[in-house]
Amino acid sequence: MELLRVEALKKYFFSGKGFSGPDKVLKAVDGVDFALEKDSVLALVGESGCGKSTLARLVLRLTTPTGGRVFFKGQDVFAMGREELKSFRKSAQIVFQDPFASLNPRRTVYDTISEPLIIHKIGKRQDHKDVVAEILRTVGMGPEVMTRYPHEFSGGQRQRICIARALAVSPEIIVADEPLSALDVSIQAQIINLLMELKKSTGISFLFISHDLRVVHYLSDMVGVMYLGRIVEHAKADDLFARPFHPYTEMLLASAPKISVGDMKKPEGIRVASAGGEAPSPFNIPSGCPFHPRCPKRFGPCDRVVPKLRESEGRLVSCHLWHNPE
């Protein structure tokens, strides 16, 4: 079943009004389409500034789009009225990157996790202690932490509390915006295992925003690769990592340092970075394919014709190599 559908979603930011002449337009998200099936994990990957976090906020109606629509179970999220919106808020939750900034330092763990229960009138107040204890258990924490404050916890434990808060209302989808990047590797692994267990035991779907390809490969069913506000490749995780179609995906995978344990060979000579150049400013997106100035495989139409995201061998890719317009 389709849980979430995003159609031609756009978010532009305007700046520079005044002395410096006309408005400058930053196209953070520029025409994105995707769907998220129930009981699955869709990861959005890309480098900083590609629009993945803006997209996460749009999906949850935490910001208004410049154009396009988001449907949650067939309902237009931006056309929802008060009551519908409240029930959407209950079904869709978010976990942020920085667990140090996303918990109120003056509230105990109990206050933090029980607040969504109160807002959404779930259960009786006198039962909340038991409910919170049960939620804490699912994220691997004991009931004794309820009376403690965020500063008493490490980063990994705080992220568990943030996940517990998101779980409190039994959501159907959790948007996780770089939930691991503030954590050390050994703690990251604990949280990854926790997310995998939750997915298995509760059937929650995840929209997982990350720049870490290893984690994405491990966690997700589907992957959307973003570049300058657009999805350039959308495929099953296994297919994408086995054989990237878009030259940008290829560049990303080649740039990530590889690790193998037990059968590592000593590196020989200088590893030549496959990546040329840097991503241009999103204020100034190149003509034609936005990736063409950095692309080692560019040819005729690339600097003139904007490629569309089209199907090719069971996945979506926006590259003229796969659909030559001429």
Partner 1 sequence: MSLLEVRGLDITFRSDTLPVTAVSGLDLEIAESEIFGLAGESGCGKSITALSIMGLLPPNASASGSILFKGMDLLTLDKESKRRLRGKEMSMIFQEPMTSLNPVLTIGYQLAEVLFTHLDMSKRDAMDKAVELLKAVRIPSPEIRVKEYPHQMSGGMRQRVMIAMAVACGPSLLIADEPTTALDVTIQAQILELIERLREERKMSILFITHDLGIIAENASRVGIMYAGRLVELADTADIFNDPRHPYTIGLLGSIPKGKGTQLRPIPGNVPRMQDLPEGCKYENRCSYAISACRTAEPFMYKVSEGHFARCIRTDEVRWNS
Q: Which residues of this protein are in contact with partner 1, per CB under 8 A? A: 47-48, 154, 156-157, 184-190, 192-193, 211, 213-215, 217-219, 237-238, 241, 251-252, 254-267, 270-275, 278-279
Terminus-to-terminus CA distance in the chain, angstroms?
Answer: 38
Positive or negative CA dihedral for 221, 227, 233, 234? positive
Q: Of 78 and 283, which has the nearer Cβ to partner 1? A: 283
- Least Cβ distance, residue 48 to partner 1 (angstroms): 6
Q: How far is the CB of 252 from partner 1 (least distance, A)?
A: 6
CB of 158 to partner 1, least distance (A): 11
Residue whose CB is less far from partner 1, 172 or 233: 233
Tokens of 27: 């196209």
- How does strand 205-210 pair with strand 173-177? parallel
With respect to partner 1, which residue has the nearer C-beta, 80 or 192? 192
Helix or strand or coil: residue 232? strand
Q: Rank residues 10 and 214 by Cβ distance to partner 1 and give the closer one.
A: 214
Kindly state the smallest distance separating residue 132's Cβ from partner 1, in Å.
Answer: 22
The single-letter DSSP state of residue 21 is B
Minimum CB separation from partner 1 for residue 174, in Å?
19
* Burial (CB count <10 Å: 0-12, 13-18, 19+), residue 74: exposed
Strands of the chain, DSSP E: 2-15, 24-37, 41-45, 67-72, 75-76, 92-95, 173-177, 205-210, 222-227, 230-236, 310-312, 315-317
Q: How far is Cα 188 from Cα 205, in angstroms, rounded to an integer? A: 20
Closer to partner 1 by CB, 155 or 301: give it: 155
Residues contacting 185, CB < 8 A, separation 6+ = none
> How far apart are alpha carbons 15 and 28 in whole angstroms?
13
- Quote the least distance from Cβ 51 to partner 1, whole Å: 14
Which CB sits closer to partner 1, 81 or 314?
314
Q: How far apart are CA 115 and CA 165, in angstroms?
A: 9
Nearer to partner 1, 1 or 261 (CB): 261
Q: Are strands 41-45 and 24-37 parallel, antiparallel or unpaired?
A: unpaired
* Minimum separation from the CB atom of position 61 to partner 1 (A): 28
